[in-house]
Amino acid sequence: MATHLLNPIGVPLPPSKRVRYNKAVTVCIAAVCQEDGEPRIVPCSDTRMDYGDLGSTNTTCKLDVLGHGLCSQMAGHWTGVTELNSGLKSRIQALSTVGSLGDVMNEADYALTEFAGSSRCRQGEIYELLVSGFIQGEPKLLTVRMENRESRLEVPGSFAVVGSGYFLAQAILQARECHPLMSRDYVMYLAYEAKRLSQKTGFVGEITGLAVQADMQVSNDRAGIAMLSEIGIANLESLYGGLWKVPLFDLPKFPDEWFSSILRQ
């Protein structure tokens, strides 16, 4: 027989229910590149949101415009990371100008402190922002992370990855030696390839959001973003399939002299 707790006036309390929150299932990538001699940034993320027993959706946009030429991509526990992002966004847009990456880092520190005191900042969850943009004409990347109410800011090199698919995507970009002098189109393919391969973890959605970010600081609430169309994504998928869905070459049988010893019955 089920038992019920009684409150002070003797009325049975309803059975407790476990609340299921959306999970951290994502990958977000940002990589610096070149287009006609001008610096660009390629942001890339999936669109999956998981709701546990309720299923999942592939329609979540994880890219947001912070302002002053800056954007953010969100990974981790969704209800919390959107609050962290909103706090940083408000602070960035309140600035009259962004003169250095240090200005952004200071605002991120304040936003993290505020978020740490929020009811949406939960123990055991991870919240990550991948900030990208142009400051004084220079491309900049910044990762903002909160885990168990401990915060960390990092300034990566030519590319950065956050989210559940981090390890595979990071490894692919490192193996491809992605660097800021590569062309826009090549880096867009590399970002797409890294995102597609990160799906092997089982935590990254199949739909891809891919964009090009250019220098644009004419307003405190805008950034220069051009999203890749469905046609562009389809062509990248064709390139990816032609490379990864076919064997590199046919291997001949390894001869006996390739082995130091041979075990025979």
pLDDT, tens digit (0-9, with 9 covering 90-100), for 206-238: 778 999 999 986 678 888 899 999 999 999 999
pLDDT at 190: 97
Q: Could you report the per-residue pLDDT of 90-107, keeping only the tens digit for each?
A: 999 999 999 999 999 999
pLDDT at 243: 87
Using the predicted structure, report yes or no on whether residue 10 has a pLDDT greater than 60. Answer: no
> In the predicted model, what is the mean pLDDT of residues 189-214?
88
CATH of domain 27-242: 3.60.20.10
> In the predicted model, what is the mean pLDDT of residues 3-15?
46
Q: What is the 3-state secondary structure (H, E, C) of the chain?
A: CCCCCECCCCCECCCCCCCCCCECCCEEEEEEEEECCEEEEEEEEECCEECHHHCEECCCCCEEEEECCEEEEEEECHHHHHHHHHHHHHHHHHCCCCCCHHHHHHHHHHHHHHHHCCCCCCCCCEEEEEEEEEECCEEEEEEEEEECCEEEEECCCCEEEEECCHHHHHHHHHHCCCCCCCEHHHHHHHHHHHHHHHHHHCCCCCCEEEEEEECCCCCCCCCEEEECCHHHHHHHHHHHHHHHCCCCCCCCCCCHHHCCCCCCC
Q: Could you report the per-residue pLDDT of 58-67, keeping only the tens digit for each?
A: 557 889 999 9
N- to C-terminal Cα separation, the chain: 65
pLDDT at 2: 41
Kindly state the percentage of the chain with pLDDT values over 70: 82
pLDDT at 217: 66
Write the CA distances from 134 to 66, 213, 251, integer angstroms.
Answer: 12, 9, 47
Banded pLDDT at 265 (limits 50, 70, 90): low
- pLDDT, greater one: 22 or 168: 168
Strand partners, 70: 67, 133
Q: Which tokens sit at 77?
A: 């526990």
Q: Per-domain residue ranges for the chain?
A: 27-242
The model scores a pTM over 0.75: yes
Write the CA distances from 118 to 40, 112, 113, 123, 215, integer angstroms.
Answer: 35, 10, 9, 11, 34
